[in-house]
Structure formats: C-alpha cells, structure tokens
Amino acid sequence: MLTQKSPFPFLSPPLLLLFLVLILHECLFPAYGWGLASTPPIPEASIQLQPFSTHTFHHPIFLTAAPGHPEGVFVVEQEGYIHFVRTGQVSNTPFLDIHSKVSSGG
C-alpha cells in the first residue's frame, strides 16, 4: 500500500481544516468578524459643463490652456484662426491668423 505524503507536512489534519475554513470565511465574508472598520462610501462626483464665452466660434477644433495665463485659453478654428479667450472675452482680432496658409477647410 502506497501512502501519499501531505503537501503540508507541518500541518496536522485538524490545523489544515481550520486553515481552509478561515480562508473560505475570508473569501465569503471579507472584514466581518475581525473588528475591521468598513470603508466609507465614496461620494458621487458632480461634473457640469459651463460655457466659457458667449462668442460663437466657426468650426472650433482645439482648445488649450494659455501658459502663464490661468484665466485664459486658446481656441483653434478649422479655417486657420487662433483666438485668445480671457475670462470669457474674445479679443477683436485673432491671436494668430494663418487662414491664407490653410487649404481645404483645415
């Protein structure tokens, strides 16, 4: 008769059974019975879109922050105009006008 060696020779059968029961308990009921505090619920995020200018842009394709001007952004239009918008106000003339170098509408 062949006897099979236990994969856990340092554990007696009652200790092995206790170990398996504890693992099963933790898998089914995590953090219960051990006095651990539960994780507080994460509050819902509230994100809203707000217009930043009343100006109507024609085919805007890109918007980026203005380095050094936290209150300003650059708006790029497909026709080749780049506008600087500061605190919701668009300057009368484009920041950069390359419309003569743009073909096929962008």
Q: What is the pLDDT along the chain (106 residues), one digit of tens a residue?
A: 556 666 666 667 777 788 788 888 777 776 555 555 667 788 888 888 888 777 888 899 999 998 888 889 999 999 999 999 988 889 889 999 999 988 865 5
The answer as to whether 47 is a domain residue is no
The answer as to whether 86 is a domain residue is yes
Give the pLDDT confidence score for residue 26 in this predicted structure.
Answer: 76
Contact 84, 55 (CB under 8 A): no
Give the 3-state secondary structure of the chain.
Answer: CCCCCCCCCCCCHHHHHHHHHHHHHHHHCCCCCCCCCCCCCCCCCCCCCCCCCCCCCCCEEEEEEECCEEEEEEEEECCCEEEEEECCEECCCCCEECHHHCCCCC
The answer as to whether 45 is a domain residue is no
Instruction: Count up the domains in the chain and report the number.
Output: 1
In 10 A of CB 57, how many CB atoms?
A: 16
The answer as to whether 66 is a domain residue is yes
Q: The domain containing residue 88 runs over which residues? A: 60-101
